[in-house]
């Protein structure tokens, strides 16, 4: 029972435990929900009856929140003006209505399905780098005004004027913009999960347990700010996470495979369901032949796609500009400096269509873009929100993200990857006499100031004399961000983005992210293992 | 309506609405909370956040069909639509013979004690007082840290909230609570580009139990200073002392295997271990929901099961899984409780300093980094940072190292526990000494 946001927790997990939605908080503590009660959904009838209670919307105004809650532009402008009423220099309103279904399969059938509704609005007021924040779970003009008044108290001077008009931003869509899951009948959602679960169970005679978790969200958000920007968009999300436990000669092993996209039911083709089930089984059976590696420092070759966790942990968090403007990131004085070899280019992008980390517009109203962080080995940009962009005198980079309306935005990653390099994957492996080939990962963590990062290798292989040999499992890898960046000796041309359920945690907020990597060699990282 | 009346109203509407739609067995929990957070940095407010929450969760049981739902959209039409969707989902489920509302016998015997979880001071604190507290943490942190300090960031967060829970088969319960929390983090300039930080965080149900602001700030700075000049040392097997406030990570790995779900899903290395020796004699661990003022204390759990003390390990012998009613039925075992409350490990005789003085070659682990544990096999591997112990003395900071092992043999290496149980959280665990642990470094 720890207060939220008190700790700089910077974590990445593949477990798909995305943000808590709509759970009543008791005593302000964030409960960790049992997995089977985690997801949710809600019902958004097309003709909401609430409009009758609210002020009649202005003529011809269209949009989700004006049509469903009567929150029109005039209300948004009044809320922003209230936020600025004590002299703040920026104010923003963030409205959100999220509906989510969660389904759990165990022991041959669906055992739990949940429906969850989360509704609310956050108001943020900035005075320089100081933040006032308040949220309400009632979408009424009065509640918005009260929240704005609370947030306004960060300043204590004369009123600043609100925007005279709001201009609707129409960002290029990066994912579908219609309700994707609400129209789907419960039985059809249950069937997706049931089919995968049964396929995992039937995948091999050694399988003794098959479990599946599924989540599908229709999330609608609106951002309006004192710069006069108004943006409204839908942010669909779904994941399917299959777990397999198998037994051989009295030994048991468990592993999983998951896929996630900002998509609707059409994402789950028969081919994908087959692949998820088959991969969960294959990855589990692999563990019977694997052992923990020998401990110590060694060259590590990272397989394509999932190994993007290296960028997320070793560099990505350290590039987040809130840590840098405060001078507490190990990268704080490295902007413009060479940090890696010339074939290393690292990008963070909101533009990867339907990716879990895609973002057409961020939670501060900045349109999606692609941000080069390391260009040909030189650190050229941090990841910015409004506060840090103003601090550094640069444009925001579309990285201002929040878990939901209960939180102010922070600089966060979207889809982080490395551009292809000049080497061939075989050549990279062949260059290692004795080392680790890391294939699949479960989670990672970093300390921003010291720069030490870590990630957990679920499966991989030893490299001996340039060839992949014995499979290995369950080894934590630990290194130092700038040190490992400088030790990237080879980069292959086989960049692939991973499609797993990556969820990034920072200051108590979880957001979905994407990642990717080509085959990469780091000349020395510390591998945790057991001496036989 | 008062807060409590509002919760009863919300819960009643959901319960009645579900029953009206033909659902015979229903559990509802309605909760509200208010949170104020003040973050302080560079001698002024960095962030002030205030919020109030109100929402409910709903569990429906229809002849083995089950759904668990939640909403915070409490407009009456929205509640009706939510109930329609929840009931539609429930009706689409395949019946599950093990799914049923908890047996009312489990509701009996609720302890009649005052757990002292609510302090009226929660309603009296002002934002100005919170700012002063945060400022005092910052001042003490910077003074202790000295010239190497880059900055200190401090947070004071207060919560107060209320829960009302009602089941269609006779359970009713409520609980009011408050939490006061302080946190300080200090960043320091080390050699080169490294900027290690130290932090200290405290939480208590009662205002009087929170340490003075200056102490929290000072401790954060001290922990930061202890990380300067960190380096990794050679791989090898040595003694590991895990400091009291860092124990949570490794204990969490262990207890992941003690859940009823892990057992039933055959993902537990504790399968078959009940009544058998697992750890060393020093390993006694109790789940105790009845500690007055405890951060994890409660009179009943989420399923309404009356709170009681649950021995997990006694002198190394494994005693109980955490079993909610669903997995208990699947396993044909009596339910215990689905989730942990406060964890207590009885303290030993010696202080942390004395424990360190007795170690010839070891590492005092002050925190973990990354890592994971395989609850099916017991294998774990995790990053650590801390301080090297040589000849009974703390010599230098270590970082970028890993420890690895298997729980089935690791807990046998627990040779001593300190006299210093951590007082500011739900884990009342002292510092732990493990012998012969595999570290990897250079």
Q: Over 60: is that where the pLDDT of B441 sits?
A: yes
Helix axes A186-201, B76-92, angle to 10 degrees: 40
**B 297-316 residues with CB < 8 A to A:** none
Confidence band, pLDDT 50/70/90 cuts, at residue B401: very high
Question: Of the candidates A24, A296, A473, which has its C-beta nearest B54's C-beta?
Answer: A24
Residue position matching structure tokens 């659902």: B23
Name the stretches of chain A with pLDDT < 50: 1-8, 16-58
Cβ separation A27–B117 shorter than 8 A: yes
Tokens of B225: 């200073």
Cβ separation A448–B381 shorter than 8 A: no
Cβ separation A119–B295 shorter than 8 A: no
Residue B142: phi and psi, rounded to 5, are -70, -40
Tokens of A29: 């503590």
Comparing alpha-carbon positions, the chain A residue that sits nearest to B205 is A27
* Mean pLDDT, all residues of chain B: 96
* Model confidence, pTM: 0.92
Q: What is the pLDDT of residues B269-318, one digit of tens each?
A: 999 999 999 999 999 999 999 999 999 999 999 999 999 999 999 999 99
Q: What pLDDT was estimated at residue A82?
A: 96
ipTM, interface predicted TM-score of the complex: 0.94
Quote the percentage of chain B above a pLDDT of 70: 100
Instruction: Report how far residue A100's alpha carbon sits from residue A116's, in angstroms, rounded to the nearest whole number.
Output: 5
Q: Over 60: is that where the pLDDT of B260 sits?
A: yes
Residues whose CB is less than 8 angstroms from the CB of residue A250 and which lie 6 or more positions away in sequence, other chains included: none
Residues on chain B touching A46 (C-beta within 8 angstroms): none
Quote the percentage of chain A above a pLDDT of 90: 83
Q: What pLDDT was estimated at residue A23?
A: 32
Q: What pLDDT was estimated at residue B225?
A: 97
Q: What pLDDT was estimated at residue A164?
A: 87
Cβ separation A117–B187 shorter than 8 A: no
Residues on chain A touching B201 (C-beta within 8 angstroms): 2, 6-7
A385 neighbors A391 (Cβ within 8 angstroms): no
Instruction: Report how far residue A130's alpha carbon sits from residue A86's, in angstroms, rounded to the nearest whole number.
Output: 13
A108 touches chain B (CB under 8 A): no
| Residue A124, Cβ density class (10 Å: 0-12 exposed, 13-18 middle, ≥19 buried) | buried
**B 139-178 residues with CB < 8 A to A:** 150-151, 153, 155, 157-163, 175, 177-178
CA dihedral B91, B94, B95, B101 (to 10 degrees): -60
Considering only CA atoms, which of B275, B380, B220 is closest in space to residue A473?
Answer: B380
B221 neighbors B141 (Cβ within 8 angstroms): yes
A450 neighbors A479 (Cβ within 8 angstroms): no
Tokens of B333: 């075992």
Instruction: Report how far residue B203's alpha carbon sits from residue B215's, in angstroms, rounded to the nearest whole number.
Output: 13
Q: What pLDDT was estimated at residue A15?
A: 57
Termini Cα distance of chain B: 64
User: Closest Cα of chain B to A275: distance in Å?
Assistant: 22
Question: Of the candidates A22, A452, A474, which has its C-beta nearest B71's C-beta?
Answer: A22
Quote the percentage of chain B above a pLDDT of 90: 97
Q: What pLDDT was estimated at residue A532?
A: 66
Question: Of the candidates A29, A45, A527, which has its C-beta nearest B179's C-beta?
Answer: A29
Cβ separation A526–B266 shorter than 8 A: no
Question: Of the candidates B183, B265, B377, which has its C-beta nearest A7's C-beta?
Answer: B183
């Amino acid at each position: 029972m720890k207060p939220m946001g008190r700790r700089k927790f910077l974590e990445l997990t593949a477990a798909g435990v995305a943000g808590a939605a709509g759970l009543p908080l008791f005593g302000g503590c964030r409960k960790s929900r049992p997995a089977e009660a985690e997801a949710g959904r809600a019902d958004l009838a097309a003709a909401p009856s609430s409009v009758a209670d609210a002020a009649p919307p202005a003529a011809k105004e269209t949009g989700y929140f004006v049509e469903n809650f009567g929150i029109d532009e005039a209300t948004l402008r009044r809320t922003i003006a209230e936020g600025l009423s004590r002299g703040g220099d920026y104010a923003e309103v963030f409205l959100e209505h999220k509906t989510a279904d969660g389904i759990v399969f165990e022991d041959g059938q669906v055992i739990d399905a949940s429906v969850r509704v989360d509704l609310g609005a956050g108001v943020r007021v900035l005075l320089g780098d100081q933040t006032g924040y308040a949220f309400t779970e009632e979408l009424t003009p009065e509640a918005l005004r009260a929240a704005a008044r609370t947030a306004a108290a960060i300043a204590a001077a004369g009123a600043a004027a609100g925007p005279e008009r709001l201009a609707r931003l129409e960002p290029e869509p990066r994912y579908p913009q219609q309700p994707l899951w609400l129209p789907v009948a419960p039985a059809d959602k249950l069937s997706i999960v049931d089919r995968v679960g049964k396929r995992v169970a039937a995948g091999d005679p050694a399988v003794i347990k098959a479990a599946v978790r599924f989540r599908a969200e229709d999330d609608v958000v609106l951002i309006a700010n004192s710069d006069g920007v108004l943006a409204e968009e839908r942010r669909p999300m779904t994941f399917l996470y299959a777990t397999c436990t198998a037994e051989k000669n009295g030994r048991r092993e468990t592993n999983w495979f998951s896929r996630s996209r900002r998509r609707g039911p059409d994402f789950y083709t028969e081919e994908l369901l087959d692949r998820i089930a088959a991969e969960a089984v294959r990855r589990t059976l692999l563990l019977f032949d694997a052992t923990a590696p020998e401990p110590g420092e060694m060259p590590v070759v990272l397989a394509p796609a999932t190994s993007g966790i290296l960028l997320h942990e070793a560099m990505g968090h350290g590039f987040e500009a809130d840590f840098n403007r405060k001078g507490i990131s190990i990268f704080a004085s490295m902007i413009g400096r060479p940090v890696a070899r010339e074939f290393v280019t690292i990008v963070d992008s909101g533009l990867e269509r339907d990716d879990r980390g895609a973002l057409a517009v961020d939670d501060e109203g900045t349109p999606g873009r692609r941000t080069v962080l390391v260009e040909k080995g030189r650190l050229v940009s941090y990841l910015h929100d409004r506060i840090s962009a103003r601090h550094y005198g640069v444009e925001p980079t579309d990285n201002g993200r929040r878990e939901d309306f209960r939180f102010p935005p922070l600089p966060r990653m979207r889809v982080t990857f490395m551009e292809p390099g000049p080497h061939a994957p075989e050549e990279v492996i062949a260059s290692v006499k004795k080392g680790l080939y890391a294939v699949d990962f479960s989670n990672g963590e970093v300390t921003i100031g010291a720069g030490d990062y870590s990630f957990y290798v679920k499966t991989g292989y030893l490299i001996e004399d340039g060839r992949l040999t014995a499979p290995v499992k369950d080894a934590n890898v630990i290194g130092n961000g700038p040190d490992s960046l400088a030790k990237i000796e080879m980069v292959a041309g086989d960049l692939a983005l991973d499609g797993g359920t990556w969820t990034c945690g920072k200051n108590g907020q979880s957001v979905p992210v994407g990642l990717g990597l080509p085959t990469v060699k780091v000349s020395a990282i510390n591998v945790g293992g057991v001496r036989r | 309506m008062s807060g409590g009346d509002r919760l009863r109203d919300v819960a009643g509407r959901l319960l009645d609405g579900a029953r009206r739609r033909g659902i015979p067995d229903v559990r509802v929990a309605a909760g509200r909370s208010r949170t104020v957070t003040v973050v302080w940095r560079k001698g002024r407010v960095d962030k002030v956040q205030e919020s109030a929450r109100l929402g409910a969760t709903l569990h429906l049981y229809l002849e083995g069909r089950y759904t668990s739902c939640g909403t915070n959209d409490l407009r009456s039409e929205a509640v009706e639509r939510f109930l329609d969707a929840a009931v539609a989902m429930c009706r689409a489920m395949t019946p599950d013979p093990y799914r049923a509302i908890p047996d009312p016998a489990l509701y009996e015997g609720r302890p009649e004690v005052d757990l002292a979880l609510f302090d009226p001071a929660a309603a009296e604190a002002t934002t100005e007082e919170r700012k002063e507290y945060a400022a005092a943490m910052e001042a003490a942190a910077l003074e202790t840290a000295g010239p190497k300090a880059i900055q200190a960031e401090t947070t004071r967060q207060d919560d107060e909230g209320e829960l009302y829970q009602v089941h269609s088969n006779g359970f009713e319960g409520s609980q009011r609570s408050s939490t006061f929390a302080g946190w300080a983090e200090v960043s320091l300039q080390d050699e080169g580009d490294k900027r290690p930080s130290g932090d200290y965080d405290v939480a208590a149900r009662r205002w009087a139990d929170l340490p003075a602001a200056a102490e929290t700030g000072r401790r954060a700075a001290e922990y930061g200073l202890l990380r300067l000049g960190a380096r990794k040392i050679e791989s090898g097997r040595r003694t590991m002392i895990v400091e009291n406030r860092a124990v949570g990570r490794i204990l969490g790995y262990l207890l992941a295997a003690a859940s009823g779900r892990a057992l039933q899903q055959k993902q537990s290395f504790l399968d078959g271990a009940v009544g058998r020796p697992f750890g060393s004699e020093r390993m006694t661990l109790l789940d105790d929901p009845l500690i007055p003022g405890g951060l994890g204390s409660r009179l009943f759990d989420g399923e309404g099961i009356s709170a009681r003390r649950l021995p997990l390990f006694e002198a190394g012998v494994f005693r109980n899984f955490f079993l909610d009613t669903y997995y208990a039925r699947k396993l044909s075992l009596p339910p215990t409780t689905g989730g942990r409350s406060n964890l207590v490990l009885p303290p030993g005789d010696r202080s942390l300093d004395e424990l360190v003085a007795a170690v010839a070659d070891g590492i005092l682990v002050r925190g973990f980094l990354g890592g994971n544990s395989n609850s099916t096999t017991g294998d774990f591997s995790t990053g650590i940072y801390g301080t090297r112990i040589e000849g009974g003395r703390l010599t230098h900071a270590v970082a970028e190292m890993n420890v690895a092992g298997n729980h089935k043999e690791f807990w046998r290496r627990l040779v001593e526990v300190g006299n210093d149980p951590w007082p500011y959280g739900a884990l009342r665990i002292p510092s732990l000494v493990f012998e012969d642990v595999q570290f990897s470094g250079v």
